[in-house]
Amino acid sequence: MKFHQIFLAAFHEPKKLAAFRLLPIGRVIRYAFFFIFVMTLISITRFSIGDTELFEASPELTEYSETIGGLIYPMAFIFQFVISTFYVFVRISLFAAIGIWIGKLMKRRIEYRFIWRTAAIAITVPLLLTIFLDFLPAWETFGILFSSLIHIGYLIVALKYYPKAPR
């Protein structure tokens, strides 16, 4: 299945979202890394144009940034990429654990490896929403909570299409 097919199906096709549990793990990880790369590019762009004031917190940081000059941008890109990777994979893993619990309540046959793949694809809308809400200062506090509820909603809808547990 091609990337754009997975992307479009992640928005509005819960049956396919449940079927994505059968995708190879490499394809799912590449899909997650695409969003990590997008998050990093947006973040580094905002940093480059001065949208986020990183060094105004202390004079020592301002002096240090002037000392290293242009090296700050590749270093910031690498650090942001590592932090975004950690954030996305921890978030996927936490929601997969929540999905296991919900799946057991729904009496579905479920394994962590399958729900992890579903959670990784289901993060599409919540992650795009998180990126969008980051630009709105009024929603910074509730943006993650709101997107987390949407992620759980996508998991619940997808879990309806998982096979039922044997009795």
**What confidence tens digit (pLDDT) does each residue in 35-68 have?**
899 989 988 888 777 765 655 666 776 677 777 7
pLDDT classification of 7: cutoffs 50, 70, 90 = confident
Closest C-alpha to 144, from 88, 96, 99, 98:
88
Q: Is 123 helix (H, G, I), strand (E, B) or coil?
A: coil
Beta bridge partners of 108: 164
Tokens 């949208």, located at residue = 51
When the pLDDT of each residue in the chain is averaged and rounded to a whole number, the result is 86
Residue 4 pLDDT greater than 60, yes or no = yes
Alpha-carbon span 17 to 81, nearest angstrom: 26
Is 114 buried (19+), middle (13-18) or exposed (0-12) by CB count in 10 A? Answer: buried
